Amino acid sequence: MSNLTTAAYLISSVLFILSLRGLSHPSTARRGNFLGILGMTIAIVTTLANPGVLSYKEIGIAFLIGGLIGTSIAVRIQMTALPQLVAAFHSLVGLAAVFVAASAYYNPSAFNIGNVGAIPMGSLIEMSIGTAIGAVTFTGSIIAFGKLQGFVSGNPLVFKGQHFLNLLLGLGIIALIVKFCIDQNQELFWLIVAASFVIGVLLIVPIGGADMPVIVSMLNSYSGWAAAGIGFTLSNNLLIITGALVGSSGAILSYIMCKGMNRSFLNVLLGGFGGEQAASADGVKDDRQAKQGNAADAAFMMKNSKTIIIVPGYGMAVAQAQHALREMGDLLKGAGAEVRYAIHPVAGRMPGHMNVLLAEANVPYDEVLELDEINRDFSETDVAFVIGANDVTNPAAKTDKTSAIYGMPILDVENAGQVFFVKRGMASGYAGVQNELFFRDNTLMLFGDAKKVCEDIIKGLEN
């Protein structure tokens, strides 16, 4: 690699780092994204200038087709569908890694790693590990996509001996890699790919829909490690640096999500949490009656309050209620109330999902606060308006040691003067735990579709 090329790749790496750095504040974030684009452009142009790259026409066509597909999807996608879009994109990185590794195996001289059948051991190890991670990322992301999109049931699929099977497959892949590094046999290469495809599916099927934020972050991390693996095969620092950035980013996001649920990463990975099974396991019937209110009552009470905190959850995204909610907030602000939004770390189906949806509805970002920033303020708040969230407000997490969600950080909405819960019905949340807040004196349930309820309150406020 010439010095000029190395320098250009280094500039790209630095630009990628700066691009992530830009995301530390909304005001610098767009510039960050631009630096990322610049870094990618430099990387691509530098590679095209490599003397080994000659087939510009075919490359141009492939690049154009991919670019058109990517752009048209990204322009059209609804913001509520972001999690599944990201999952789908991760799968492509994984698959691309598999193809690059396969290509390196069939034509090693293009990568300066020896000749067919005589690839150095080090390159074989890197190649096979990169392939395995890429293949797991591919099928794992497809299952995650299916669960988020609703093609595959969001309930955890658990069967006997599942973990044992995964363990066997994992050991099998290691054995295949060892044998491949010795024999350099092409059947072995494809066996590694196939076994990794299978384990990618098996790893994700037992994981419930609401644990997907962790999984999407984890797959984000994997796609980075796959890129780093290919970077070793190519002896290319740019790929290694970028892979490490993406890998650690995904890992940190998974960690934040796990902490937001007070569960260990292993506990999420082993799966079986949530969905119908957990709900039925809870079993105990609750005879208490929750107080039910209507939109007119809510409108009247909120009109006369000074401070309001809105707590959105995944239910808001499902009902596409963010625009109606913002309109309601504007009317309340017009009536003289202070309106703010409180976001729990695991609200929604991907990290930061609620923030994007509220931003889409034109809620200014300085009115949207994180759990640590706003949690103390509930005690001085007249109304907490919970829309489409449940488990993240359950006080049992603080008091009931037997609860499935014990220890999870929660938003202290019960400290507010009045709590409104917008819900479709009395069903328990994802964790399958009954929320005792429903039965408190200062709680009023507003049953119905989140968007419909907001619109009814807007009508009430306008009268």
Site for another protein in 51-80 (CB under 8 A): 52-55, 58-59, 62-71, 73-75, 77, 79
| 192 in contact with another protein (CB under 8 A) | no
- What order of strands is seen across the sheet that includes strand 443-447? 368-370, 338-343, 307-312, 383-387, 418-423, 443-447
Residue ranges in 254-293 that form contacts with another protein under rule CB under 8 A: 256
**Closest approach of another protein to the CB of residue 349, in Å:** 10
Strands 443-447 and 383-387 come out as unpaired
Stretch that binds another protein, among 122-130, 154-162, 201-209, 416-424 (CB under 8 A): 122-130
Residues 213-242 that bind another protein (CB under 8 A): 216-217, 220, 223-224, 226-228, 230-242
Label the pairing between strands 383-387 and 368-370.
Answer: unpaired
Q: Does 89 engage in binding with another protein (CB under 8 A)?
A: yes
Binding mask 403-442 for another protein (x = CB under 8 A): ----------------------------------------
Indicate whether 444 belongs to the interface with another protein (CB under 8 A). Answer: no
Q: Which residues of 133-165 are buried (b: 16+ CB within 10 A; e: fewer)?
A: bbbbbbbbbbbbbbbbeeebebbbbbeeebeee
Percentage helix, strand, coil, to 5, in the chain? 65, 5, 25
User: Is 117 a residue that touches another protein (CB under 8 A)?
Assistant: no
**DSSP H helical ranges for 205-264:** 212-234, 237-261
Known catalytic membership, residue 391: yes
Near another protein by CB under 8 A: residue from 178, 182, 252, 427 = 252
Report CA-CA distances (Å) from 225 to 19, 328, 434: 19, 44, 40
Asked if 250 touches another protein (CB under 8 A), the answer is yes
Q: What residues contact residue 62 under an 8 Å CB cut-off, 6+ apart?
A: none
Q: What whole-number distance in Å separates Cα of residue 426 and Cα of residue 423?
A: 7
Q: SS3 for 382?
A: coil
Contact status: 85 vs another protein (CB under 8 A): yes
Site for another protein contains 337 (CB under 8 A): no
Residue type, 121: M
The number of beta carbons lying within 10 Å of the beta carbon of residue 200 is: 27
- Taking the complex as a whole, the smallest distance from the CB of residue 48 to another protein amounts, in Å, to 6
- Measured at the CA of 128, the angle between CA 126 and CA 131, to 5 degrees, comes to 105
Return the residue of 21, 291, 306, 459 that touches another protein, per CB under 8 A.
21
Using the contact rule CB under 8 A, the part of the chain among 25-33, 156-164, 276-284, 298-306 near another protein is 25-33
Which residue in 391, 400, 441, 456 is the catalytic one?
391
What is the size of the binding site for another protein (CB under 8 A)? 122
Residues annotated catalytic, as ranges = 391
